[in-house]
Amino acid sequence: MRESAQSAAARLTGRAVSGARRLSGALAEVTLDDGTVVMVKRGDGGPGATRAEAAGLRWLGAAGTVRVPAVHGCDEKWLVTDRIRAGHPNPEAAHRLGRELAALHACGAPAFGSPPPDGPVEAYIGLAPMRNVEGADWPGWYAEHRVLPYVRAAVDGGTLDAAEAVVFERVCARLPELAGPPEPPARLHGDLWNGNVLWGDDGHAWLIDPAAHGGHRETDLAMLHLFGCPHLDRVLAGYQEAAPLGEGWQSRIPVHQLFPLLVHAVLFGRGYAEQALAAARSTSRC
């Protein structure tokens, strides 16, 4: 019998439960006996998905920069975190988020591809497997562990054909010249699309559902561009004030968007594959 969110919350927090509200098949708000409301998420990914997410939240939270929900407990199937009370996006919070993201990235990582402390190598981005394997330089690591595995998966799934795969292989061969000025490994959220930015009623932006790892700081910003973000201009202004981006960063946005677009192509089909192809072909103008 499948365990309920209420039972999982009680077991993982050691507290009695006084109520619950189901938000989706995998997510519920659960009220503990002291009135605290927590979010209880059932991991529908593979083994280790919830532990990877918990390790990512702790790693991001340890930086003391961006706001992330505290982890109250997790196991192989369930994750219990703070509930963030919803507010509304505003320019001030967006500007602050930009500065906080810059500070987060500056906290760094041991290497490109490093997992969070206690985080598994075999992690996830959404429902897609993501391997956190370390590499010495960003272009080679990004090609080997972020772009090409998803190209192969898309070909195997019939979303891309072999001729289209060559487009991505050519981009990967050019990555040393496309990557821009060398950057140290940054501490990334790793799945920073608009849906993973919560605007709290405390006037701050909160980040949830990370696929945290060591990577290139422009990758997080490229994901915010890809799926939109309220007051993105203010986020970028705050970021640039705190830690100016390398020359030509705007032209590199499509390079960094290849990874999330290919992940979406594997998970959701041909429409995202066509967007990934357009991004890859646009690198010829970089």
- Residues annotated as catalytic are 191
Q: Tokens 């072909």 sit at which residue?
A: 281
Largest CA distance in the chain: 60
Cα 234 off chain centre by: 20
Other CB atoms within a 10 A radius of the CB of residue 1 amount to 3
CA torsion 61-130-199-85 (nearest 10°) is -70
d(CA 56, CA 82) in angstroms, rounded, equals: 15
d(CA 74, CA 76) in angstroms, rounded, equals: 7
Candidates 236, 227, 230; CA nearest to 275 is: 227
- Say whether 190 sits in a helix, a strand or coil: coil
**What DSSP designation does 250 have?**
G
